[in-house]
Amino acid sequence: MSEGSHAVRAEVESFLDDQWSLELTVREWWQRLAQSGWGFPTWPVEWFGRGGDADVLTLASRIFHERGVLGAPGGLGQTMGGPVVMQHGNEEQCRRFLPGLAAGTEGWCQFFSEPGAGSDLAGAQTRAVRDGDEWIVNGQKVWTSGALSTERGMLLARTDLDAPKHKGLGYFIIEVDQPGIEIRPLKQMTGQSHFNEVFFTDARVADANLIGRPGDGWAAATTTLAYERGNRAGTVGVAAGAGGSRRGGLLDRVVGDVIEEARALRARTSESADARNPGIVGRTSPVSLVAEFERDDDPIVRQRVSQYYSLIRLSEMNRERSRAEAAAGRSPGPASSTTKLFRSVATRLNRDLGPQILGAHAMLVGPEAAVGGAVAASTVQAPSTSIAGGTDEVQRNIIGERVLGLPREPDDSRTLPFRELKVGTQRPDRGAGS
Ligand SMILES: Cc1cc2nc3c(=O)[nH]c(=O)nc-3n(C[C@H](O)[C@H](O)[C@H](O)COP(=O)(O)OP(=O)(O)OC[C@H]3O[C@@H](n4cnc5c(N)ncnc54)[C@H](O)[C@@H]3O)c2cc1C
């Protein structure tokens, strides 16, 4: 271990010796973590971080893991929104938004996709019209994960119909719990309702919550997506995933109980992690299943499991690369699409291998089924990986055009005023509204 690593280890351990206790509430622990900078070690020192690089984040996370410490609050606000505010927002916005994100008293959702604007996100039709020092928002978003348990949303809305589509968008941080916003949960084929359709009817958002200028929203949106596709910017610790937010109901619970519950859940879903490659040897991973169900003498299965193993390792390396970019203060950029694409391919292979290894048992759900029904559950969950955060086809387009430098497809819609385009439900003969 290098001298620098020794120093980081000593600092993290001394902080944990002083401040960590199973008896704290989650709110108290996250507050201490935010003040120490160890919750978000790659954030700048002035904004709840340590100004560290990807190695510092990895090492701090490892120490948290070894000691069974509850990690920093996770969620879209912490992993995408905070870094976007630091990069595209102003000082006052950092002062207002970052404390709540760092301490986990606030969670954010992502109001991007619409019924007519998913892959073509720049075609978003939700309108924001200026009214004094506020904006009035009308339109519809869809597939909004976590809208019911978060306080604010990152909203992409059209501020100018006469500008070309990429240039007439605003990026707002909007309060979710207000009369102009109606949230309806959508049922997924997994049986759960993680995402929602959301209707905006004269919803209001302060001009002070506009990130950048009106019309600059696309730049902030692409930064958000780069974080989403590559490496969600670095929160420390194993229990990240515990989303920070007041509405999420976690803050006043005792840390020890939350950890115990997470442990029980991991045991139920069979996530016994290997110290070196936890992504590969969770008990439901094909690498583990093939041994448990004694299918390691089947050459086809062996070949596909090796392929799966290689994909996951490559994925981890790509993730490290975009982590290093983020930690060096650079936006993860279009190469994060490669990470996202690897994840999709590995997920599909996993979906196919589970049933190949378990046979008919893979169709059963519930605690009495093989591996607790986890294989059936991951089969129905699998399609979401290649859609959420931008589809595989869209990632391939980005890699082709922005990483490999291939020529763009001819596209008039980039230069014409938005109101003249045929996008989503918009028709030139009906006009795009006023
Ligand atoms: C689990 C999950 C969670 C999500 N959470 C959120 C969230 O929190 N917030 C949010 O805003 N959105 C969220 N989404 C939405 C997601 O971002 C969109 O579903 C995704 O961008 C695709 O858009 P779409 O569904 O409109 O499909 P479409 O854009 O209509 O695409 C349909 C098909 O056409 C293909 N296609 C489209 N354009 C091209 C092209 N130019 N070249 C080649 N093929 C093309 C696509 O690849 C796809 O196969 C979530 C989705 C999922 C599955």
- The CATH number of residue 176's host domain is 2.40.110.10
Q: Is residue 201 part of a domain?
A: yes
pLDDT on residue 1: 61
Please confirm, yes or no, whether 228 is among the known catalytic residues.
yes
Pair 276, 205 in one domain: no
Pair 306, 350 in one domain: yes
Pair 125, 76 in one domain: no
What tens-digit pLDDT sequence spans the chain (434 residues)?
A: 677 788 999 999 999 999 999 999 999 999 999 999 999 999 999 999 999 988 898 899 899 989 989 999 988 999 999 999 999 999 999 999 999 999 999 999 999 999 999 999 999 999 999 999 999 999 999 999 999 999 999 999 999 999 999 999 999 999 999 999 999 999 998 888 999 999 999 999 999 999 999 999 999 999 999 888 866 555 665 444 456 677 778 899 999 998 888 777 666 554 433 333 334 556 678 888 998 899 989 999 999 999 999 988 888 888 777 777 766 767 667 778 888 888 899 889 999 999 999 999 999 988 888 888 888 888 888 999 899 889 999 999 999 998 899 998 888 888 999 998 887 766 545 544 44
Nearest alpha carbon, ligand 1 atom 29: 119
Range of the domain at 286: 269-403
pLDDT on residue 239: 46
Phi/psi at 83 (nearest 5 deg)? -60, -35
pLDDT on residue 267: 63
CB-count exposure of residue 117 (10 Å: 0-12, 13-18, 19+): buried
pLDDT on residue 431: 47
pLDDT on residue 12: 96
pLDDT on residue 135: 98
* Domain closes at, from 178, 203, 229: 229
pLDDT on residue 264: 74
**Ligand 1 proximity of 395 Cβ (cutoff 6 Å):** no
Comparing CA positions, the residue from 323, 170, 297, 328 lying closest to residue 233 is 323
Pair 334, 398 in one domain: yes
Q: How far is the CA of 135 from the centre of ligand 1 (A)?
A: 27
**Ligand 1 proximity of 307 Cβ (cutoff 6 Å):** no
**Counted domains in the chain:** 3
For the chain, give percent helix, strand, coil, nearest 5. Answer: 50, 15, 35
pLDDT on residue 238: 46
Which CATH number goes with the domain that contains 278?
A: 1.20.140.10
- Rounded to whole angstroms, how far apart are CA atoms 201 and 209? 18
Pair 300, 379 in one domain: yes
Pair 311, 225 in one domain: no
Instruction: Note the helical H segments in 270-335.
Output: 278-281, 286-292, 299-327
pTM of structure: 0.89
Q: Is residue 319 part of a domain?
A: yes
Nearest alpha carbon, ligand 1 atom 50: 388
Q: Is residue 56 part of a domain?
A: yes
